[in-house]
Amino acid sequence: MTTSLPDITSEIRQRANSRGTLATIQTVATVNAPPDFSPALVSAKAFQFLPLPERLKLLGEWMREGDLGFLFAPRGAGKSWLAMFIGNAIAENCQLGEWTAGNAARPVCYFDAEMNLPDLQERFCKIGITGESFHLLSNELLFDHELPSVNIADPSHQAALGNLLPDGSFFVIDNLSTSQTGMKENDNDAFDAIRDWLLALRHRHITTMIVHHAGRNGEMRGASRREDMAHWIIKLQDASEDGAANKSFATSFSKCRNCRPNEAPPLKWTLSDQGDTIAVTCTVHNGPDALLGHIREGVVSASELAELLAVSAGTVSKWAKKLMDRGLIQKSGRDYKAIDSPYE
């Protein structure tokens, strides 16, 4: 039998009076009072006509205003390079590789928690990051001003960062490991330290991209709960040839809510150092060689490969046959397996 609210209140009052603490009654009643969620309850019919702001595009079909996304890769693969190129494209509202420009230029805040200033300055110059709307926040600059390093898991630092960010801006955190202390990477509950803050940024239409490292299994390192909130997750893999002067990497989406897979296909990027500038070339990354790269990274299911490469299962089968004919992979049940070759 459920006790009514008046009965509970009466019981609490009697116990409190026996101890002579009337204040306890008010405190307990306040704590136990349930919140009223009814103002946010809307019928399906009314929801159809609820006026909502359009989620504007920032880059390509995959990034929209208010998104939370991740860009991850192994150390040295090129994730910071790509993060800076993405930030500059959004600040200048220009196309980047196969990704078309968004609806309008946005203010950008790039928080770097790892690199030294001379290296950052060199990269900015080579990329051509010169606009007034692109701002850098660096732990090294904070140190030079005798200020503490940013800890995104600290509520006071979250508030300070929020004060720096204009509504509708693009915010890059590079990277998750070095930008916080006290948040255990493999603990799902630990992500709660920044979850509500990231949601608050979304409510201000701020788009946040977090740069992170890949683990030994090739996937994003640490607990998986952080992926639940993400609109998209970009996986970056080193694609440089041995002895090549140019840096190459391949990108693919392991998660993308905003568009279909064929609207955000895997891409291969090559960065060519021209001295004062970096020349960027970008092509759609598919075909047998792209398939082989993913199999070597541990993606062995035909259905997963088809989704990752934005092609049909039949196309994956045709490419796989070519690789098997070249002695590079073999079929193991329904999965594929790479064959190590000293001549490859």
Residue 97 included in any domain: yes
Residue 94: in which H helix or E strand, if any?
none
Q: Is 196 in the same domain as 306?
A: no
Residue 46 included in any domain: no
Residue 231 included in any domain: yes
Roughly how many angstroms between the first and final C-alpha of the chain, as a whole number? 74
| pLDDT at position 269 | 97
| pLDDT at position 304 | 85
One-letter identity of residue 330: Q
Residue 156: in which H helix or E strand, if any?
helix 155-164
Q: Is 159 in the same domain as 61?
A: yes
Q: Is 163 in the same domain as 279?
A: yes
Q: Is 278 in the same domain as 312?
A: no
Q: Is 141 in the same domain as 199?
A: yes
| pLDDT at position 26 | 56
Task: Write down which residue in 244, 263, 284 finishes a domain.
Answer: 284
The number of domains in the chain is 2
Residue 12 included in any domain: no
One-letter identity of residue 291: L
- CATH code of the domain containing 327: 1.10.10
Strands of 207-213's sheet in order across: 134-138, 108-112, 170-174, 207-213, 68-73, 232-238, 247-256, 267-273, 278-284
Residue 116 included in any domain: yes
| pLDDT at position 7 | 53
Residue 79 included in any domain: yes
Range of the domain at 207: 57-284
Q: Is 61 in the same domain as 202?
A: yes
pLDDT digits (tens), the chain, 344 positions: 444 444 545 554 565 455 555 555 455 555 689 999 999 999 999 999 999 999 999 999 999 999 999 999 999 999 999 999 999 999 999 999 999 999 999 999 999 999 999 999 999 999 999 999 999 999 999 999 999 999 999 999 999 999 999 999 999 999 999 999 999 988 999 999 999 999 999 999 999 999 999 998 888 999 888 999 999 999 999 988 878 889 999 999 999 999 998 899 999 999 999 999 999 999 998 888 889 888 987 888 988 888 778 788 889 999 999 999 999 999 988 899 999 743 34
Q: Is 180 in the same domain as 309?
A: no
Distances from the Cα of 25 to the Cαs of 9, 28, 31, 88, in angstroms?
A: 8, 5, 10, 57
- Measured N-to-C along each axis, helices 313-325 and 302-309 cross at an angle, to the nearest 10 degrees, of 110
- CATH code of the domain containing 259: 3.40.50.300
Q: Is 99 in the same domain as 77?
A: yes
Residue 174 included in any domain: yes
Q: Is 181 in the same domain as 313?
A: no
| pLDDT at position 28 | 53
Q: Is 166 in the same domain as 306?
A: no
Q: Is 87 in the same domain as 207?
A: yes
| pLDDT at position 310 | 75
Residue 18 included in any domain: no
Residues 63-106: pLDDT tens digits?
Answer: 999 999 999 999 999 999 999 999 999 999 999 999 999 999 99
Task: Write down which residue in 284, 312, 329 finishes a domain.
Answer: 284
Q: Is 193 in the same domain as 302?
A: no
One-letter identity of residue 5: L
Task: Write down which residue in 261, 284, 307 finishes a domain.
Answer: 284
